[in-house]
Homo-oligomer: A and B are copies of this chain.
Amino acid sequence: MTSKISPIRIGLLGFGNVGGALVDLLAEQRTDVAALTGIDLNITRVAVRDVDKSRPHDLGGATLTSDALEVATADDVDVVVELVGGIEPAADWVAAALGAGKSVVTGNKALLAARGRELLDLASANDVELLFEASVAGGIPLMRALQQSLRGEPIRRVMGIVNGTTNFMLSKMSQDGADYADVLAEAQRLGFAEADPTADVEGHDAQAKAAIIASVAMGAAVTPESVPVEGISGVTASDIANAHRLGYAIKLLAVVELFGDRSPYEVAARVHPTMVPLTHPLATVGGSFNAVFIEGGAVGELMLYGRGAGGRPTASAVLGDIIAAAGSLTSGSVRRTPPMTEATIRASDETMSAFYLDLSVDDRPGVLAEVAGVFGANGVSIRSMEQAGLGAEATLAFITHEATEADMRTTLEELGSLASVLRLGARYHVIGD
């Protein structure tokens, strides 16, 4: 029996919701972790903005300070946990920690998306690890799956519900037939949405996560700027009802696709509300849950489902990373991967998707032929069409086969200029079963 216990000292930057949950979880689990792994985790230093603020967490003997840089580089710290959020000054502190030979665990998606490549290289150069499981989809072990379990897998596509706020809102709209504004107000009241909900509802949070997923899946850097984004603020209760009638749920998806047979692949990542067949596993993901659906050439279909946010689920992911980093330190080696190149991005005009769209039209003979002619002239093939209403209320709802974004845009422009088309209605990306 090995009874050797290796002490590992943790420096914590930031002591908010997740930091507090982590301190509590560590206090609960310290004995068990030591029994299971031989590693004794001990928080020695904590950097906070205001050292005088009272906090309902037992910090043991840890030193509380407002000097984050000191914690990041202290001699009595082996692993630095960054839970400050935002790009600056977190990036400086993480860089300082890596430079000082500390492994770093972070849950900071903005930092990763903006500076991940440079910080990962810095970690490698200093023979330490930068782990970030908590940065995407909270408690779901997605990063480790992509980086390790699926490292040999020919991944074709990753589609994720990676923002709990918008999934809560869309699920609620679907369940209650409620309007966007009403569910937003409810989400704010329940604390699921911020007072300024822009980052969530306009898809920017999902955009950063899409960039991280794409980078990790590709092993090549994808920046958030190369991820086109469309949020959910244009989604209406009647869109959701129409989609449901046709057998679809509307979900905000981060979609990452890899093209080609072999590295270097082309990659395309995007975020948009998507019509997902009700029979698809992603359609059943309700409330504020997250889920990531992976399609691989060998593994087939894989889905990981769980809590994408919240103090304790996120702290669980952070703790898993701390144990992994500590394991590498005690075993005397870290996992190094070659530096990332910059990914080759497929132009968004050239990415393909099936689409839903609806139009209000003059209800007279010949109009459908005219409309269908515009699709055909642009190489967009129609999979199904349904007319709802009659006379001035007539609406045509189309679902197309796969077409390029560019062809679909041209089709919409030309449809909009037809005299018989009174109004262009909703347009959604559609995925298959």
The interface of chain A, by Cβ under 8 A from chain B, is 1-3, 21, 25-26, 28-29, 31-33, 35-38, 124, 133, 139-141, 144-145, 148-154, 219, 262-263, 281, 284, 289, 296-307, 310, 312-313, 315-317, 319-320, 322-324, 327, 331-339
Q: Is the CB of B334 within 8 A of A36?
A: no
Tell me which residues across on chain B come within 8 A of A324, comparing CB atoms: 148, 151
Cα(A373)–Cα(B149), bound, Å: 54
B residues in contact with A21, CB < 8 Å: 298
Contact A36 B151 (CB under 8 A): yes
Contact of A28 among B154, B306, B322 (CB under 8 A): B154
Q: Which 10 A-B pairs have the closest CB atoms?
A: A141-B149, A152-B319, A333-B333, A302-B306, A139-B299, A299-B316, A298-B316, A303-B305, A149-B320, A331-B333
Contact assessment for A298 and B315 in the assembled complex, using a CB-CB cutoff below 8 Å: yes
Which residues in B have their C-beta under 8 angstroms from that of A145?
Answer: 141, 144-145
Minimum C-beta distance from A41 to chain B (A)? 8
The answer to whether A152 touches B323 (Cβ under 8 A) is: yes
The one of B1, B331, B339 in contact with A2, judged by C-beta atoms closer than 8 angstroms, is B339
With a cutoff of 8 Å between Cβ atoms, the chain B residues found around residue A151 in the complex are 33, 36-37, 319-320, 323-324
9 contacts between A and B (CB under 8 A): A36-B151, A36-B263, A38-B337, A139-B302, A144-B144, A144-B149, A153-B316, A298-B315, A332-B333
A313 touches B300 (CB 8 A): yes
Name the CB-closest residue of B to A28: B154
Q: Which of B312, B315, B331 contacts A335 (CB 8 A)?
A: B331
Decide if A310 touches B306 in the complex (CB within 8 Å): no
* CB <8 Å contact, A31 and B305: no
Q: Which B residue's beta carbon lies closest to that of A300?
A: B307
> What residues on B are CB-neighbors of A316 within 8 Å?
150, 152-153, 296, 298-299
**Interface residue from B1, B28, B300, B307 paired with A310 (Cβ < 8 Å):** B300
A301's contact among B29, B301, B307, by CB below 8 Å, is which? B307
**From B31, B37, B281, B315, contact of A284 by CB (8 A):** B281
**Which of chain B's residues have a CB closer than 8 A to the CB of A3?**
338
Is there an interface contact between B305 and A300, defined as CB atoms closer than 8 Å?
Answer: no
Q: A1 to chain B: which residues have CB within 8 Å?
A: 338-339
Whether the pair A25, B298 counts as a contact (CB closer than 8 A) is: yes
Q: Is the CB of A306 within 8 A of B312?
A: no
- Which residues of B are found within 8 Å of A332, using beta-carbon distances? 332-333
Question: Given the complex, which residues of B lie within 8 Å of A327, measured CB to CB?
Answer: 335
A337 contacts B299, CB within 8 Å?
A: no
> Bound state CA distance, A151 and B321, in angstroms?
9
User: Distance in Å from the Cβ of A398 to the closest Cβ of chain B?
Assistant: 29
- Assembly CA distance A28 to B26 (angstroms): 43
Given contacts A144-B149, A150-B141, A298-B21, contact A305 B281 (CB under 8 A): yes
Contacts of A154 in B (CB 8 A): 28-29, 32
